[in-house]
Structure 1
Amino acid sequence: MYVTGGTFYLSAYSESGQPMMSQNNMGGMMGMCQSMMNSIPQDVVIKTTSSQVANVGEESTFTLFVTDKKGEPLDNANVILHIEKGGPMEGMDGMNMMDMMGKMFKAENIGSGQYQVKFTPTEKVYYTMHTHAIPQGKSMMSMMNNHMDIGIIAK
């Protein structure tokens, strides 16, 4: 976990130098997901520009700022995510790719590289927002290379 300008992220980049698909030290999908979550995004930068603290039972709005690696805002990215209780990988046991994809939803594009996500926490726990930003013109497969876990604290 590291802190950047008031934002905390849960991803740390992998120093293995191996492509994600060839890393199977954990085996199968779990290994691929672990590798993805331990890598920095390849094509984009994803930052939160709003508080990451939410009140239980109240709808909260989180704003994400998505740029390319040169710092140019990405207005037409496909920003998809899912939010789960706990830290990264805690809720992955027994899940398959279709389970994960079924829980994903799109962030609302509000312009100038900003995307909004609305979420109502149900418990006073830590949540992980698994965020994928797919640049325009890239395939859905690039979501695996453009992932950032963002922490949300519900109080």
Structure 2
Amino acid sequence: MGKRTIISIVTLGVFAASVFVLVSQNNIDAYSMMSSGNMDSMMKNMMSGNTMGGSGSGMNCKMMSDSPQDVIIKIKSSQAVSVGKIQSITLLVLDKTTSRPLTDARIVVGIERGAPMSTMDMLGPMFDAKNIGNGKYVVSFILDKPGYYTLHTHVIPAGKSMMSMMNNHEDIGLIAK
């Protein structure tokens, strides 16, 4: 093989690899993105200012809405919880336009120590709430220290893309005693 042929093959290989990386970054597989580790990492990046596009100032650029756009999230249990014991918070999720319970939504939650967006001290990865029927979902957790915590609650209605969780986000305050 001649020198030009080898250079052409190497150049073509580098170009193909670059295109693959670019396409992979812009078309992230939704299932791999929804794993708890990836979801946790994605949320931390977006909340701290590292958006998926690499620009913007995270929460300052309104990645998440101030109140859920498609749903209503109601807290059906006490927000005062005990330290060191398994605790559960029951949420009722309703369709905002019909006020009917959302029975087949995905509820993804993360718990932050402190006020919303103040510490980014997340207690483990994000996880799914358990659907107990009739629009009710249970979030179970154990808090290790007394204080204020934030339950970052994201709703993905059935049939909506996973990006809808950014439009259906609500922070719920918890007091651990």
Residue segments in structure 1 that go unaligned for 5+ positions in a row = 1-20, 22-26, 94-99
Q: What is the 5 A alignment of 1:1-150? A: 27-32=56-61, 35-36=62-63, 39-69=66-96, 70-92=98-120, 103-150=125-172
Spell out structure 1 runs of 4+ moving beyond 4 A.
none
TM-score, normalised with respect to structure 2: 0.64
Identity across the alignment (%): 55
Which one has the largest radius of gyration?
2
**How far apart are the structure 1 equivalents of 2:72 and 2:134?**
14
How many residue pairs align between the two structures?
122
Q: For 2:63 and 2:170, locate their aligned partners in 1 and report how far apart those are by CA, in whole Å.
A: 9
> Which structure features the higher share of helix residues?
2
CA shift, 1:87, in A, is: 0.5
Question: Contact (CA 8 Å) 1:37, 1:148: kept in 2 or not?
Answer: no
CA RMSD of aligned residues (A): 2.2
* Contact 1:36 1:147 survives alignment (8 Å): no
For 1:89, give the aligned amino acid: M
Q: Could you tell me which amino acid in structure 2 is paired with residue 109 of structure 1?
A: N
Q: Relative contact order: is structure 1 or structure 2 higher (C-alpha 8 Å, sep ≥ 6)?
A: 1
- Identify, as 1 or 2, the structure richer in strand: 1
TM-score normalised over the length of structure 1 = 0.72
- Could you tell me how far 1:29 is from its partner in structure 2? 2.0
